[in-house]
Amino acid sequence: QKEVEQNSGPLSVPEGAIASLNCTYSDRGSQSFFWYRQYSGKSPELIMFIYSNGDKEDGRFTAQLNKASQYVSLLIRDSQPSDSATYLCALIKAAGNKLTFGGGTRVLVKP
Amino acid sequence: GAVVSQHPSRVICKSGTSVKIECRSLDFQATTMFWYRQFPKQSLMLMATSNEGSKATYEQGVEKDKFLINHASLTLSTLTVTSAHPEDSSFYICSARPAQGVWGDEQFFGPGTRLTVL
C-alpha cells in the first residue's frame, strides 16, 4: 500500500462545477496535510494546508480532513479552465519534517 | 513573502560534466531545505534533506557521492550533480521550510531546474 494514494485521473469537470479530489493515507500518525497545485512544467504551489479534523475554506477551495478514516479531500468550487492542473496531496508524518507526496490527480476543466 | 528562487532554470550539459543548482530563500531564513526530482508524468521524489551547517540526509537509493548537497547558510543550498549522465535528466526542485514565524509545517518550492544531459 502506498503511503499517500490519489486517483490519477484525469478528472473532467465542466466549467462552473465542483471538482472533488480525494486522498487517502496509511500512516495514522500523520499530522499535517497539504494540497499543492502543479501546472505542467512548473513546480508545485501550495493551495491549502490543514492540521485538524473538519473543514477549512479558503476562497473557492475547501479542504476536509478525517483522521479517523485517514482521508483528506479538496473541493474546488466554481471550477475555471485555469484550475486545470495536477493536484498533489502531501503529508508530514508524526515527528517528521519531510513531505510525502501522492501521485497526483490531473484535473481538466472544460469550458 | 516566502519566496524561493532556483538558478539556473534550465541547463543542458554534456555527459560526464558536473552541474550545480542553487536554491535560495529570498525573504526568510530556512534551517531546512529539501531537494526533489521529478520525472515526466510522475510525482515528486524526495532526494535529500539539507540542514544548515550539517551533512545532508539522503533518501534510500540516492547516491550521496553523485548528488552533492551543501547548505552553507540559512538562505542558500546547492545541489551538484557530478558526472551527469542522460538518465540524470529530470526536473530538480528545491523547497525551503522557514525557520520561525507564522509558518507551521509549510514548505515553499522553488521554480525548478530542468536538467538535460546529452
Q: What is the SS3 assignment for B35? A: strand
Per the listing, cell 501521485 goes with A103
Per-residue pLDDT reduced to its tens digit, A45-54: 999 999 999 9
Q: Give me the residue from A34, A43, A102 closest to B43, CB to CB.
A: A102
Which residue among A31, A45, A98 sits closest to B34, beta carbon to beta carbon? A98
Residue A31 has pLDDT above 90, yes or no: no
Q: For the residues B36-40, what does the mean pLDDT come to?
A: 94
CA–CA gap between residue B101 and residue B25 (Å, rounded)? 14
CB contact under 8 A, B112 and A42: yes
Q: Quick check: B106 and A49 CB within 8 A? A: yes
Q: What is the pLDDT of residue B103?
A: 65
